[in-house]
Amino acid sequence: MILVSSCLLGNNVKYSGGNNGHELLMKYRQYLTAVCPECLGELPIPRPPAELQGGDGHAVLAGRAKVCNKEDLDVTGHFLQGAKLALDMAQKHSVKIAILKANSPSCGNVQIYSGRFDGEKIPGAGVAAALLMENGIKVYSEQEIDEDLLKRLIAEDRG
Ligand code: SF4
């Protein structure tokens, strides 16, 4: 099983209530399984945007950083719950590969927003992506995927 951010598969789960439908991933959706960590964390749709403050997802997992939304509400607990349930799902199905939405405070793999809600991006992972990576799952973003790579990953996953 390959996990993919639900919003990339056209599901209206992002904070704004919309999606990030990705043409290539949607073409192969029959081989992909949707996951939305923020939904698993029982955050509503729509919801205020949130950013990590004080560090990236690894720092949040270590208790050294937090997640706050634009209304200055601490939503760290929701993000941790969502990440843990996404990992539970991955481990239950022996997932080795995930393709997650770039730059998201949950799903970003190499870059996240600054925490100042100023549109700037900084190096680091989102909370769910960090937890998956810490547990040996390879996390790509949609920006790193082309059709050849996706077909190869699907073929490998299906053995
Ligand atoms: Fe998409 Fe991930 Fe945000 Fe859910 S948590 S809306 S899957 S980027």
Let me know: does 100 contact 4? Beta carbons within 8 Å: yes
Answer yes or no: is the C-beta of 41 below 6 A from any ligand 1 atom: no
Encoded amino acid at 38, one letter: E
CA distance 25 to 153: 12
Answer yes or no: is the C-beta of 75 below 6 A from any ligand 1 atom: no
> In which residue ranges of the chain is pLDDT below 70?
none
Domain residues for the domain of 95 are: 2-157
- The residue ranges of DSSP E strands in the chain, in sequence order, are 2-5, 32-35, 50-53, 66-69, 97-100, 111-113, 121-123, 138-141
Looking at the 3D structure of the chain, how many domains does it have? Answer: 1
Predicted confidence at residue 37, as pLDDT, reads 98
The sign one gets for the Cα dihedral 32, 33, 39, 40 is negative
Predicted confidence at residue 140, as pLDDT, reads 98
Predicted confidence at residue 159, as pLDDT, reads 86
How many CA within 13 A on the CB side of residue 33? 14
- Percentage of the chain modeled with pLDDT above 90: 99
Answer yes or no: is the C-beta of 36 below 6 A from any ligand 1 atom: yes
Tens of pLDDT, residue by residue over 94-140, are: 999 999 999 999 999 999 999 999 999 999 999 999 999 999 999 99
Q: Is the ipTM above a cut-off of 0.95?
A: yes
Residue 159 CA to ligand 1 centre (angstroms): 28
Predicted confidence at residue 105, as pLDDT, reads 98
CA distance 115 to 82: 19
Predicted confidence at residue 65, as pLDDT, reads 98
Predicted confidence at residue 99, as pLDDT, reads 99
Nearest Cα residue to atom 3 of ligand 1: 14
